[in-house]
Amino acid sequence: MSDIFTTEVSRHIWETKYRFLDDNVIVDNTIEDTWQRVASALASAERNDADLWLQRFYHALEDFRFLPGGRILAGTGTGRQVTLFNCFVMGRIDDSMDGIFDALKEGALTMQQGGGVGYDFSTLRPSGIRAHKVGGIASGPVSFMRIWDSMCGTLLSTGARRGAMMATLRCDHPDIEQFIDVKKDAHELRHFNLSVLVTDAFMQAIDNDDEWPLVFPLVAEASSSGDSIERIWSGETSPVTCQILRTVRARALWDKIMRATYDYAEPGVLFIDRINNLNNLGYREHISATNPCGEIPLPAYGACNLGSINLTRFVYKPFTNNAHLDMEAMSDTACTATRMLDNVIDLSRFPLQVQHEQAHGSRRIGLGFTGLADTLIMLGLRYDEQAAMELAASVMESICHTAYRASIELAKEKGSFSFFEKDQYPGRPFIQSLPDDVRADVARFGIRNSHLTAIAPTGTISLLANNVSSGLEPVFDFHYTRRVLTGDGSYTHYDLTDYALQQWQNMHGDKPIPGQFVQTHNLSPNAHLDMQAAVQPYVDNAISKTINVPEDYAFDDFSSLYKKAFELGLKGCTTFRHNPITGAIMSTDEQKEIDSHCCDIEREAD
């Protein structure tokens, strides 16, 4: 066996999730065999110089420099009937029994192949509206979400690939309060993450202390008495007439959202107008949902595959006055990784034909990084200081601009994505924020991929890479216990030491650690937000980030966090405060670990 693994949990993750066994016959004897399998399959998509690209792809994967999404590691080159994509958003749910159960079937087929799915339930009529055609009363979107939750649980019990789900609901849907409150029951919707679609108009109404109308598009068989208003509803491209069913105080509804997430960590918020305004394909699609962890906003049947550059592998002379990050080598890896993720699109299977069409039409990818917190520690920087945020911003800027330049070169070689419109795409706001040479080349040569950057949670693949810190997150704790699913469906616990601390101890033994060794509970919630805001300008998809909040953090202080996220220009926000409903995946001696929900390490779609 290879000795690349320095922690037992990393070997366990490889053996149970990513090692290829064909009918119990071992194919991947070592992690190097896994890298070779993935590199070889991705290089097979090249029309020219396949052997050269095989070498380059292997070098990127070697020593965990580049960590493709888990579906890519597990499925590429195996010949299995699985998708290589992490993230899907499903189609519009038609407001009928046929439409609901068609959508349920599509979700089941997608999750069976390993994809995480997102749904917008706003198209389902609110509870209490009479459905005259069948002589009944509508039960509302939350009631139907329970059917999805049962479906996901059934798939998990059959040993199907772990997938997670995201459910969204508009902030002006009449059942929004039930949606906000549903997770107060520890047994409700445990396979879902929930996010409220928050509009600019709602944020303005909060500022003005206005009444906020809760509305739904006029239904032919329902009563149309009362006032109406025009809204671009979910699944629509132009305004439709909506009936105002009742009004609430905007601030009261906002306080309800904040109180729920304070008490049981959900729902999160998605600033949906900002997402659509900044969408590179805003000229042809409307977004109302994301993948389960929130880093990929997608249109109906949209899909995206992910990969992360492991920043710790580019740190030289750690813990010295000459410690530095090799930005040139990192950039070279980003260039190669862009090509690798683009090739995934051509190799992947898709559960549904319409997903194939969307993925090939836009060729979305999501390249980001992981190991940021450990990298900062090895460079002598505290996560919450300005220099750390400036470094993170410069790293993401380099990855972004490198990926865009690489995608332009791919367009010269292989052609632009088919949804590219030369009179529309170059004028989109994010494209206009890029350097002059990139904007000029996009206009002249086109580009291979509509979107290129995202920062994913990377929980599992970061553990695979010898327990580096995850994504954009600070170090959770330097010593902690993590629960991990085993191959037979049971759980085992691993006592873990953070990667940066392990490197320090390897070099300095028991010498006291310096001040840059900060962990989550040393940081203010605002430090999390500021770090996310520092890198957001270089992310054309979105960022998965959990704002960890101390258990004793005052609600009056907590209640301003989502508003600050909006003011900082973020696309969404999620918080976590330890509580008896959600418990914890990673636990210290002072924390009680209970059953967790959809996006824990066993089910997250990376």
Q: Known catalytic residues? A: 291, 293, 295
In contact, 178 and 142? CB cutoff 8 Å:
yes
Could you give the CA distance from residue 115 to residue 107 in angstroms, rounded to a whole number? 9
Distance from C-alpha of 199 to C-alpha of 202, rounded to nearest angstrom:
5
Q: Give the separation between CA 516 and CA 377, rounded to whole angstroms.
A: 6
Spatial CA neighbour of 67 closest among 329, 296, 368, 346 = 368
Q: Report residue 268: phi and psi, to 5°.
A: -85, 180
Q: Furthest-apart CA pair in the chain: how many Å?
A: 76
* Residues across the chain: 606
CA end-to-end span of the chain, whole Å?
A: 25
Q: Which long-range contacts (CB under 8 A, 24 or more apart) does 498-506 make?
A: 498/374, 498/467, 498/469, 499/312, 499/371, 499/374, 499/466, 499/467, 499/468, 499/469, 500/312, 500/373, 500/374, 500/377, 500/378, 500/469, 500/475, 502/6, 502/467, 503/318, 503/319, 503/378, 504/319
Helix 31-43 to helix 50-61 angle (10° resolution) is 140
Nearest-angstrom CA–CA distance, 84 and 355: 12
CB 546 within 8 A of CB 578: no
Angle, CA 245 vertex, CA 241 and CA 249 arms, to 5°:
110
CA-CA distance, 107 to 122, in Å (whole number)? Answer: 17
CB 216 within 8 A of CB 126: yes
Chain centroid to CA 344: 18
DSSP string covering 156-221: HHTTPPP--EEEEEETTSTTHHHHHHGGGSTTSSTTEEEEEEE-HHHHHHHHHT-EEEEEEE--TT
CB atoms under 10 Å from CB of 180, counted, come to: 22
- 77 near 39, Cβ under 8 Å? no
Please give the single-letter amino acid code of residue 503: Q
521: Cα within 13 Å, side-chain hemisphere: 12
Q: Which residue(s) pair with 315 in the sheet?
A: 325
Question: Token pair of 97, please?
Answer: 């029994």
CB burial string 572-593: b at 16+ within 10 A, e below: bbbbbbbeebbbbbbbeeeeeb
CB under 8 Å, gap of 24 or more: what pairs does 153-158 form?
153/190, 153/191, 155/108, 155/111, 155/112, 156/191, 156/603
**Helix and strand tally (H, E) in the chain?**
21, 24
CA distance 16 to 44: 26
- Residue entry with tokens 């779609």: 605
Write out the H or E segment, with its range, that includes residue 297: strand 297-298
